[in-house]
Amino acid sequence: MAMAMNPRVAGFLMQALSHEMSVVQQYLTQSHLCDLWGMVDHAAYFRRESAEELEHAGQLIRHMLSLGLTPNATQLAPARPGRDLREMLLLDRQLEVDAVRLYDEALRQAQRFRDDASGQLFAALLSDEQGHLNEIDRMLAELESKGKGT
């Protein structure tokens, strides 16, 4: 028989789904804004990010269904797209920092309650979010160096 779902871990799954759905909206909004501004490459970048976060939401939903949980994201954050590329990336950076923090804590709780399947999912998502954060930092550094005319 499957071990009873720990309510703290279930809470992290719900919080994670809310986060992923929120960043789908965030990145999709930024993608379409960049389109409007004629920034084709950045529109494509944000569209890829949005698709990746949607994939994360899907993985969480699959996992919740396998545990008999109803996907129940309730707290969609409003999009805060920013007024230029630098501001967009700074706002996104904070969301990715929040995601890293969320999955780090979720992973620890899953380990504490010996929920290996949830732990594996949280670990994979944590690693992806760290990748997103690194990519944003790389783009911000590139903007910075262009700004200085180097």
Nearer to Fe ion, 20 or 115 (CB): 20
Kindly state the smallest distance separating residue 129's Cβ from Fe ion, in Å. 5
25 three-class SS: helix
Kindly state the smallest distance separating residue 101's Cβ from Fe ion, in Å. 12
Contact 61, 107 (CB under 8 A): no
Nearer to Fe ion, 122 or 149 (CB): 122
Kindly state the smallest distance separating residue 147's Cβ from Fe ion, in Å. 25
Nearer to Fe ion, 53 or 115 (CB): 53
Kindly state the smallest distance separating residue 22's Cβ from Fe ion, in Å. 10
Q: Rounded to whole angstroms, how far apart are CA atoms 43 and 40?
A: 5
Q: Write out the residues near Fe ion by the rule CB under 5 A.
A: 20, 53, 56, 129, 132
Closest CA to 105 of 131, 117, 123: 123
Nearer to Fe ion, 115 or 129 (CB): 129
Compute the C-alpha angle 90/28/130, nearest 5°. 50
Task: Show Cβ contacts of residue 41 under 8 Å, excluding neighbours closer than 6 positions.
Answer: none
Task: Show Cβ contacts of residue 58 under 8 Å, excluding neighbours closer than 6 positions.
Answer: none
